Amino acid sequence: MARDRDHADDQAARLPAVVGSAAARLRDASLALRRLAVTTSTLLEPVAELNTTDTWSSPWQRRSTARVDAWQQALTAGAGVLVIRSGWYSRVADVLDAATRAVTAGSTGGRVGGPGVVGDPNSAEGSVVAPTVVVPAMPRGWDDPDLALVRALGAGLSDRADPADPPGGDVGGDGPVWFDAGQLGALAGSLRAAGTAAARLAGAVDATEDQALRAAALALTELVASTGDGLGGAVGAAAAVRPPETFRVAGLAATTDVLRLGAHVIAVDGPRLAASLDRRMAHFAAAEDAVRAGGVLIDQRAWFDDAPPPSLGQIRSVAAGLVALIGTEPKALSAGEVREVGRRLAALSPAAREAVISRLRGAPLAVFAAAVTRLRKRLVARTRAELTALTAVPDLLLASAPAAMLDELVRLLPDLEPAAPGAGGQRGGAPGRDGADADRTDAVVRDGISSSDVGQGGVDDCYLAAALVGLARQRPALLADGIRENANGTFTVTLYRDGRAFPVTVTRDLPGLASADGSGDAGGRPARTGMAAYDVNGRPELWAAVYEKAYARAHGGYDSINGGDPGVATSDLTGRPHRTLRPGEVSTGELAARLAAGDVVIVSTGGEAPRVDSGLVRRHAYTVLAVDVTGGRVLLRNPWEHVGGELTAWYRWDDLRPGLVAVSLTPPR
């Protein structure tokens, strides 16, 4: 008994020193975590100073900047949690100091409490007070990660091929490429330095956290050993002192937590991004050498693409083989040989393909174009598949040729540029509008795809405009994904024939006014313009006009798409079959159900003039945007161009049906 009492006295004697030392270490850790929080939040400042459009600009630069922004988001979140953790350790240190004072006072006959400590008021003088330690609670969810951010960061780490930096990433972009080589080299150096600093930062956070947790565990162990009745409270306190929950991120070798997520990702991804920059600059230099030595044209966006640099030897070899295959006599070139030209070009990287095409300028390209024109006329009555395969080769040339060759290509292959709209009547078409062509450098999509972006122009293709309105409302992603901007400024649009996708490439030239003074065509008639290249607020936006041009090219010109079936047009844009129903067979309930399921729903008026008070136009197509089943009403959108707002109105379905001839329904998938 005396020995136990002596042991307890020894523990009581050293408890203040042990717990006080632990509290001091917790305070040191708290200060260190605050300093590390500052380091964490400012880690990427040198990168941010260099990662500007003054240093570089390209489609990949925008993707890379989004990647760096995600790193900063993770760092900011980690810095915030470090501050929370720092404050918490400081409060735990206060609790331990109070416990030390309580034990000391109890052993000397005093009665001292403190924050987080409850003494035993019935203890005899000279005995050890048994404090119950109450550790302050951490904020709920303090160590829960942002799952969307974790997925975004993991997407950039999980594939060694670097999904944010794919081959062809700049070639398919939507802007020019330029950079300051010195500044970009400095940016690569800053990214490497950030990666090294991030690794050190993660280690410092880990060591500081470990120091704090060990100190807290030691203090609580001593309190457990020294407090009889306070054992339960001390054990509860020990359970409250825990490290943050760890989790896995795809691409990281070890687990991480909210404190170190940003640092761990940058330590891995920063050097990778720097290496990508170095490769691109090396490829750019190699492309410059090829241009100087080989007399080839390579678009600057292709120069900066993260694909193997073009080999001048390969370019010369492939080009020579194609020149020999094409020969000098258009009538001697077979359809199979034309397709072989396309196969060889398609097998090349974008930069090499562009360079090879540039070496076909002059006589070889003229012979090839004449052969394609002859074969297309001869094959017109043969299988559609054979004709489509033959047409795909000029399409590949238009999508891949250097920008400086586009005029030559269109001159030799006029079918690449659909015939402009004529000056006939406007049956069902929108009134003519004044104004000049849109700037060809304008945005293809501005602030996302919206039904308000669509405005039928002077072409009688209300059925196509109505289909675009419906898809913009129901499946905007399909329309956005269906346009690819090529390195030479052309657009490749995905259309469908018999459910099968096929590419149609068009230039940026969009039809505008027929006369230079904006008064109309040479005969004084209203100007025949294509679909509006502006959004509802009058801001330039090209996507709807680009779709119309691709549709016109696929059908032989703008005048060839005057009049059509909205269901067929929607199928041509989606690859999905459509249904055409009589208006009397469809109820508002069914219309509402089909809209809710994602269908594009379009109604068409007939040749008879609708009721005067209906406001509808004869032989016109309208997109159904909404249905009021209870009121028996439908909301129709007239696809005509109208700056300032969409032409929409509610109609009673029973009043509409007599003036309609068809209802087309096209499912989303």
DSSP 310: P
Pairing outcome for strands 579-581 and 660-666: antiparallel
Residue 433 CA neighbour count, 13 Å, CB half: 24
Host H or E run for residue 292: helix 261-294
Q: Which of 508, 510, 511, 509 is nearest to 490 (CA)?
A: 508
Tokens of 552: 């016109």
Instruction: Please state, as a whole number, how many other Cβ atoms lie within 10 Å of the Cβ of residue 491.
Output: 24
DSSP 414: G
Place of tokens 């990427």: 44
Tokens of 183: 């500044």
Host H or E run for residue 566: helix 566-574
Helices and strands (H, E) in the chain, number of each type = 20, 13
Cα distances (Å, whole numbers) of residue 230 to 99, 119, 213? 11, 9, 21
What are residue 663's DSSP bridge partners? 581, 603
Residues, the chain: 669
Catalytic, 537? Answer no
Which residues lie below 8 Å from residue 43, measured CB to CB, with a gap of 6+?
Answer: 75, 194, 197, 198, 201, 262, 263, 266
> Amino acid identity, residue 571?
S
Q: Are 168 and 45 in contact (CB under 8 A)?
A: no
What is the distance between the alpha carbons of residues 303 and 605, in angstroms, rounded to a whole number?
52
Q: Are 491 and 501 in contact (CB under 8 A)?
A: no
* Catalytic annotation, pick one of 486, 562, 638, 642: 638
What is the distance between the alpha carbons of residues 296 and 287, in angstroms, rounded to a whole number?
10
Catalytic, 620? Answer yes
Tokens of 106: 């109890």
Intra-chain end-to-end CA distance of the chain, in Å:
84
Place of tokens 């602030």: 447
Catalytic, 555? Answer no
* Catalytic annotation, pick one of 264, 462, 486, 488: 462
DSSP 329: -
What is the distance between the alpha carbons of residues 235 and 358, in angstroms, rounded to a whole number?
78
What is the distance between the alpha carbons of residues 490 and 401, in angstroms, rounded to a whole number?
10
Cα distances (Å, whole numbers) of residue 296 to 179, 281, 285, 323? 22, 19, 14, 15
What is the distance between the alpha carbons of residues 534 and 543, in angstroms, rounded to a whole number?
9
* Catalytic annotation, pick one of 264, 283, 578, 620: 620
Catalytic sites, residue numbers: 462, 620, 638
